[in-house]
Amino acid sequence: MSASDSRARLLDIIRKRSFGRGEITLASGRKSDFYFNLKPTMLDAEGAALLAELTLDALQGENIDYVGGLEMGAVPLAGAIAQLSFMRGKPIQAFFVRKKPKEHGARLSVEGLAPGETLAGKRIVIVEDVTTTGGSAIKAAEAVRDAGGNIVMVFTMVDRQEGATEGFQEAKLPFRSLYTASEFLKN
């Protein structure tokens, strides 16, 4: 399938499985008349494969060491991207940042690293399923920077176009998206 066919197919999957109309309160506290719940797409076999494929294609040439982001949305994304990168012969490792460290065990904020493995000096892309203001990704980026990682960019599957671009500019984080809300709101 060509890149444009893959993109069109994934847009169709997201529209059918993860996009809806109706009043909803977003994580940011804002009200909206449309929503994206990307979990049904991320956990769909074809949807997961296409998300990983299109993300890796978009990141080509960036020399990424790791992908990760704040739980929960980043977990299935990072796993699918890591798996496909290995299958393509250019492995990118994955991790996620807890919203708050566990209160038992190692009490880690960054999860998924092997003993002795570190993000220090590594080139990292923060991935996110849906971005509204960017607050969750900025929180993940802060944890990664605290761990010594170099944030190359924040990459989201869907930008709701409600302030994230400005928030990331202010945080000095490059930002790109696979889709924008306007692509789903056209019809």
Sequence length of the chain is: 187
| 20, 179, 185, 187 from 34: Cα distances, Å | 6, 15, 9, 13
Q: Which amino acid is at 117?
A: E
**What does the DSSP assignment read for 40-108?**
HHHTSHHHHHHHHHHHHHHHTTS--SEEEEETTTHHHHHHHHHHHHHHTT---EEEEE-SS--SSTT--
Q: Can you say which residues are annotated as belonging to the binding site for 5-phospho-alpha-D-ribose 1-diphosphate? A: 98-99, 102, 104, 128-136
Which residues are within 8 A (CB) of 141 and not within 5 positions of it... i.e. 6 or more apart?
Answer: 126, 151, 154, 171, 173
- Which residues sit opposite 110 in a β-bridge? 97
Q: Which amino acid is at 66?
A: Y
Q: Can you say which residues are annotated as belonging to the binding site for orotate? A: 132, 160
Q: Can you say which residues are annotated as belonging to the binding site? A: 98-99, 102, 104, 128-136, 160
Integer Cα distance of 84 and 50 in angstroms: 10
| 2, 38, 127 from 5: Cα distances, Å | 5, 20, 23
